[in-house]
């Protein structure tokens, strides 16, 4: 499997995280937030293929670009559209859905699920194009577990952060994959065939291979190697105080990529605290303490001159060397 990501939007402007997961049997894509103008680099078909849209919160700079997504997906025919966000998401999004003239009422269909991540549960509401999004169909209320999504190839978990109100952080993790060691297969004199799928699916018992009955547990020990999945976390617009740090460090533990806000530099800590944001000093310390693989700084404030962006990066690298801005920004 491969997990790739791209930061959409320019430095000093709104940003979006776009993630692409190729499981070998299919490609899944995910969007984190919908800042203004960020989606213009994605094609209509790329936007229609997004499996889940995750909102951190609904400040303008994270939702201004939603219309581009909505335009491509309001009548998605093959599946429902899945949106996630903090408490209040359904009401805010319903206003967005209804911000158009729907004189085609009843002629087209499209189903949207808005999943609100509340403190101890997930409340899902359904909205339908065929009733012009007028009804908020109350749906499922389920307990919120460590994983909010658990699919065969990946999982997603969430964490509630403090932005003078909830801002949700997300972590997407590929599940480990099992591979067959071709060299060992040959050394055992076995030929690949449909039995390999069965070997991957079963943990014990017997398997017929080339007319011989072989023990699955033994075969697995000889042939199967495990590749750990990659992981990416997205955190933006949150106060990074001691309490947040103590929950985030174990939650992020050894995550491959942490994409994180860079709204304030260290000398503006008082402003960061006042507006419930974090500084790059705090986020690079978090990256270090959580032993993540890399820290990608996004959501740069226009408050700073371009010349200061490099200084911010250098300051962060003093604490956590593997820090960078998105490659496309070419800021060193
Ligand atoms: Zn905000
Ligand atoms: Zn923001």
**pLDDT digits 0-9 by tens, 137-195:** 988 899 988 899 999 999 999 999 999 999 999 999 999 988 888 888 888 888 888 88
Q: Ligand 2 centroid to 28 CA: how many Å?
A: 26
Residues constituting the chain: 332
Query: Which string of b and e fits 23-32 if b means at least 16 CB within 10 Å?
Result: beeeebbbbb
Q: What pLDDT score was predicted for residue 116?
A: 97
pLDDT average, residue stretch 101-105: 87
Quote the percentage of the chain above a pLDDT of 90. Answer: 77
Q: Alpha helix (H) ranges present in 169-302?
A: 182-187, 195-201, 216-223, 242-252, 269-274, 280-289
Residue 111: count of CB within 10 angstroms of its CB = 17
Beta bridge partners of 214: 207
Mark the residues whose beta carbon lies below 5 A from ion ligand 1.
59, 237
Angle between the N-to-C axes of helices 280-289 and 306-319, in degrees from 0 to 180, rounded to the nearest 10: 30
Determine whether 78 is an active site residue. Answer: no
> What are 6-37's pLDDT values in tens digits?
999 999 999 999 999 998 878 999 999 999 99
- Look up residue 25 and give its two tokens: 């049997």
- 3-state SS track over 250-270: HHHCCCCEEEEECCECHHHHH
Q: What pLDDT score was predicted for residue 191?
A: 86
Angle between the N-to-C axes of helices 242-252 and 280-289, in degrees from 0 to 180, rounded to the nearest 10: 40
Q: Is 101 exposed, middle or buried (0-12, 13-18, 19+ CB in 10 A)?
A: exposed
Query: Cα angle vertex 18, ends 14, 19, to 5°?
Result: 155
The answer to whether residue 70 scores a pLDDT higher than 80 is yes
The answer to whether residue 136 scores a pLDDT higher than 90 is yes
Among the bound ligands, the one closest to the CA of 58: 1
- Look up residue 324 and give its two tokens: 């960078």
Quote the percentage of the chain above a pLDDT of 70. Answer: 100
For the chain, residues classed under CATH 3.60.15.10 are 2-175+229-329
Q: What pLDDT score was predicted for residue 324?
A: 98
The most distant pair of C-alpha atoms in the chain lies apart, rounded to whole Å, by 73
The answer to whether residue 1 scores a pLDDT higher than 80 is no
pLDDT band for 203, please (50, 70, 90 cuts): confident
Superfamily of chain region 2-175+229-329: Ribonuclease Z/Hydroxyacylglutathione hydrolase-like (3.60.15.10)
> What are 254-276's pLDDT values in tens digits?
999 999 999 999 999 999 999 99
CA distances from 80 to 22, 51, 209, 255, 327 (A): 21, 9, 42, 30, 33
Q: What pLDDT score was predicted for residue 242?
A: 96
> What are 30-56's pLDDT values in tens digits?
999 999 999 999 999 999 999 999 999
pLDDT average, residue stretch 65-70: 97
The answer to whether residue 118 scores a pLDDT higher than 80 is yes
Residue of 61, 67, 131, 327 marked active site = 61
Q: What pLDDT score was predicted for residue 177?
A: 87
Q: Ligand 2 centroid to 61 CA: how many Å?
A: 5
**C-alpha radius of gyration, the chain, whole number:** 23
Among the bound ligands, the one closest to the CA of 62: 2
Q: Ligand 2 centroid to 238 CA: how many Å?
A: 9
Q: What pLDDT score was predicted for residue 68?
A: 96
pLDDT average, residue stretch 276-294: 98
Distance CA 325, CA 269 (A): 20
């Amino acid at each position: 499997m491969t997990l790739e990501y791209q930061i959409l939007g320019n430095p000093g402007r709104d940003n979006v995280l776009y993630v692409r997961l190729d499981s070998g049997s299919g490609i899944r894509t995910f969007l984190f937030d919908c800042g203004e103008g960020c989606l213009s680099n994605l094609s209509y078909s790329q936007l229609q293929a997004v499996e889940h849209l995750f909102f951190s919160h609904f400040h303008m700079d994270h939702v201004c670009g939603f219309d581009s997504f909505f335009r491509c997906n309001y009548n998605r025919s093959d599946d429902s559209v899945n949106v996630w966000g903090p408490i209040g998401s359904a009401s805010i999004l319903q206003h967005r859905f209804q911000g158009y003239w729907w004189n085609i009422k009843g002629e087209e269909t499209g189903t949207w699920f808005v999943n609100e991540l509340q403190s101890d549960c997930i409340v899902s509401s359904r909205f339908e194009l065929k009733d012009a999004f007028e009804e908020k169909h109350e749906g499922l209320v389920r307990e919120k577990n460590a994983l909010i999504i658990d699919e065969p190839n990946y999982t997603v978990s969430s964490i509630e952060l403090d932005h003078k109100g909830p801002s949700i952080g997300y972590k997407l993790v590929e599940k480990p994959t099992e591979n067959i060691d071709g060299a060992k297969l040959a050394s055992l004199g076995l030929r690949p065939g449909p039995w390999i799928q069965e070997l991957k699916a079963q943990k014990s018992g017997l398997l017929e291979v080339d007319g011989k009955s072989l023990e699955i547990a033994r075969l697995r020990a000889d042939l199967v190697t495990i590749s750990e999945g990659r992981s990416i976390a997205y955190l933006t617009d949150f106060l990074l105080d001691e309490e947040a740090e103590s929950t985030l460090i174990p939650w992020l533990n050894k995550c491959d990529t942490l994409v994180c806000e860079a709204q304030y530099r260290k000398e503006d800590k008082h402003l960061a605290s006042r507006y419930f944001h974090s500084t790059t000093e705090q986020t690079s310390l978090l990256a270090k303490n959580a032993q993540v693989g890399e820290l990608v700084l996004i959501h740069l404030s226009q408050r700073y001159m371009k010349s200061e962006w490099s200084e911010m990066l250098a300051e962060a690298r003093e604490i956590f060397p593997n820090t960078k801005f998105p490659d496309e920004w070419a800021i060193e």
